[in-house]
Amino acid sequence: MKHVEVLIIGAGPAGLSAADVLLEAGAEVALIDRSDRPGGQLTKQTHMFFGSQEHYASKRGIEILHVLYDKIKDHPRLHMFSETTVAGLYPDRVVACVSGQRYFTIQADIIIVATGASEKSLPFENNDLPGVYAAGAVQTLMNVYGVKPGDKVLMVGSGNIGLIVAYQLMQAGVKVPVLVEAAKTISGYHVHASKIRRLGVDIRMRTSIKRALGTDHVEGAQIWQLDARWQGIAGTEETIEVDTICLAVGLSPLTELLQQLGAEVIYINELGGHVPRLNEKFETTVEGVYACGDVAGIEEASSAMIAGKIAGLEAALKQGYALEDAQARQAALHTSLKTLRSGPHGEKIRKGHARLGART
Amino acid sequence: MDNMNPKEIVICRCSDVTLADLFALFEQGYRTFEELKRIKRVGMGPCQANTCGKMVQWEIAKYFDIPLEEALFHNLRPFTLGIKLKHIKEGSDT
């Protein structure tokens, strides 16, 4: 069996940032990603980031990806495994990998799990009809492969993903007549909502989808208003003529590998679902196994990059690398993460972490 | 959602399990994901419950009127995807 010092699962913003710190410290790093290109969600984020310079503000996600990856890609101590899926995690940090038809195992001193998240779905009538997509899938089709998902889209969900993907659909010449949101308020940034409103998107609050219409593919959608108990109100149905239904109803951390290993996970609604219990070093309840990025609670790429650096630094210290100013760097990173979580939009994340903290 | 037809709501696309199928099992007294999985194969397809998992959990919580965190999730074991035994043997020999 092969051995590697540090194995990172997921080459998204968190994994790439962790790899960078570990390579700089002197470690040998294997970076595994199931996609054919590194970057995770950054590969399709054509919008500019908010925040400060330190958080890559006003850079687009795809540009940030190049900054992160170009810095490490030719490093002699980096072993990049693309189109490789981690199929299983076993005790003693044995990692089972699959690439095409090839199966192999690697044993690692340290594992950093940066697997990100998967998209949530929604129960409604006829919801398995072709033409019903998750928003991330639509974004991948358009921004990575240059394929339009349809001509007229109903967007479900007003989080930042729903708002941004609605805008990007319109940039691609796709019509988005209506966006429905089950809650009373817009859940993403108002600046994004205002932009698509100005472009004519009819944003309906307290409204959801009841049924996808069509037999072989989506030919329309029936929407209806919701009552205070989130139940659809009979008689309020309205038919919208669309050929695509796009679900932007949230993300859920991809903790399955951590759960295979027996790392403790706790259900925290505000963080998207099951999240690993971590100590202040971002280590899970399994020694030598760290978690960072969306897998540890749904946030944004900016926070994932900082969390990746924190996990990378801690892993390097655990391996015995003497890092200059390690303590000061850690303190600065934790402050930076706290800054990102401050403000009204960080409330849910703060609440989630407070609940997680109280239960650990 | 009370006004929707549960037979037309697909919860698990991999194993074609509808909301009506889940309700039928709830009525028989099954109330954990692990039990539902063993009987109906919900969550046992290619996505390994990454799509349906949260919906099943939500439906359990709603039906039995319990908090979401009390709706037990299923046990997760390797592998996350399908692999032929032949390839495992070949890979293990090297």
Q: What are phi and psi of B85, to 5 degrees?
A: -55, -35
* Residue B61, pLDDT above cutoff 90: yes
Residues in B closer than 8 angstroms to A86, CB to CB, are 80
Q: Is the pLDDT of residue A356 over 80?
A: yes
CB–CB contact A102 B77 (8 Å): no
Instruction: Return the percentage of chain B with pLDDT > 90, whole number.
Output: 70
The pLDDT of residue A51: 72
Partners of residue B51 in chain A, C-beta under 8 Å: 118-119, 121
In three-state secondary structure terms, A7 is strand
B90 vs A contacts (CB less than 8 Å): 103
Q: Is B87 on the interface with A (CB under 8 A)?
A: yes
Q: What mean pLDDT do residues A9-15 have? A: 98
Predicted confidence at residue B19, as pLDDT, reads 97
C-alpha A303: how far from chain center: 11
* List of chain B residues whose C-beta atoms are within 8 Å of the C-beta of residue A121: 51-52, 54-55
A360 falls in which pLDDT band (50, 70, 90)? low
Residues of A in contact with B93 (CB under 8 A): none
Indicate whether B94 pLDDT > 70. Answer: no
Cβ contact A96–B78 (<8 Å): yes
> Can you list the alpha helix ranges (DSSP code H) found in chain A?
13-25, 61-72, 135-139, 160-171, 190-198, 256-260, 301-318, 326-341, 347-358
Averaged pLDDT for residues B30-42: 94
Provide mean pLDDT across the span A218-242. 96
pLDDT, residue A48, reads 84
Q: Measured between alpha carbons, how far is A34 from A226 in angstroms, rounded to an integer?
A: 39
Minimal Cα–Cα distance from B84 to chain A, Å? 8
Q: What is the pLDDT of residue A241?
A: 98
Give the start-to-end residue ranges of the domains of chain B. 6-90
| Closest CA–CA distance from residue B34 to any residue of chain A (Å) | 14
pLDDT at B92: 79
pLDDT value of residue A285: 97
- Contact (CB, 8 A) for A204 and A183: no
Report pLDDT for A126: 97
Q: What is the pLDDT of residues B72-93, one digit of tens each?
A: 778 888 999 989 999 999 987 6
Q: Which residue has the higher pLDDT, A220 or A360?
A: A220
Distance CA A224, CA B3 (A): 11
Q: What would the mean pLDDT of B34-50 be, rounded to a whole number?
A: 92
Q: What is the mean pLDDT of residues A97-113?
A: 96
At A122, is the pLDDT very low, low, confident or very high (cuts 50, 70, 90)?
very high
pLDDT computed for residue B1 by the predictor? 52
pTM: 0.95
CB contact under 8 A, B1 and A121: no
Average pLDDT, chain A: 95
User: What is the pLDDT confidence band of residue A16, given thresholds at 50, 70 and 90?
Assistant: very high
Residue of B nearest to A234 (CA): B3
The complex scores an ipTM of: 0.92
A206: its two tokens: 């307290």
**A173 has pLDDT over 60:** yes
**Least confident stretch, A142-151, A329-338, A343-352:** A343-352
Bridge partners of residue A104, in order along the sequence: A97
Q: What is the pLDDT of residue A58?
A: 83
- Answer whether A127 sits within 8 Å of B88, measured CB to CB: no
Which stretches within A26-89 are classed as H helix? Answer: 61-72
Please give the pLDDT value at position B39: 95
Judged by a CB distance cut-off of 8 A, whether residue A273 touches chain B is yes
The answer for B 23-42 residues in CB contact with A (under 8 A) is none
A112 in Cβ contact with A63 (< 8 Å): no
In tens, the pLDDT along A305-334 reads 999 999 999 999 999 998 889 999 999 999
CB of B85 less than 8 A from some CB of A: no
Check if B52 contacts A (Cβ < 8 Å).
Answer: yes
Q: Are A103 and B90 a contacting pair at CB < 8 A? A: yes
A125/B5 Cβ within 8 A: yes
SS3 of A319, please? coil
Could you identify the residue written with the tokens 């039928």? B24
Task: Report CB contact under 8 Å: B81, A210.
Answer: no
How near does any CA of chain B get to the CA of A344, in Å?
Answer: 25
Q: Which of B1, B76, B81 sits opposite A259 (nearest CB)?
A: B76
Please indicate whether residue A360 or residue A342 has the higher confidence score (pLDDT).
A342
Q: Taking every pair of C-alpha atoms in chain A, what is the biggest distance, in angstroms?
A: 68
CA–CA separation, A242 and A183 (whole Å): 22
Q: State both tokens at B71.
A: 């709706």
- The token pair at A178 is 């209506």
State the pLDDT at residue B71: 86
Indicate whether A347 pLDDT > 60: yes
Residue A245 above 70 pLDDT? yes
- Say if residue B26 is preceded by a cis peptide, omega within 30 of 0: no
CATH of B6-90, one of 3.10.180.10, 1.10.10.1100, 1.10.357.10, 3.40.50.1820: 1.10.10.1100
| Closest by Cβ to B81, choosing from A87, A231, A254 | A87
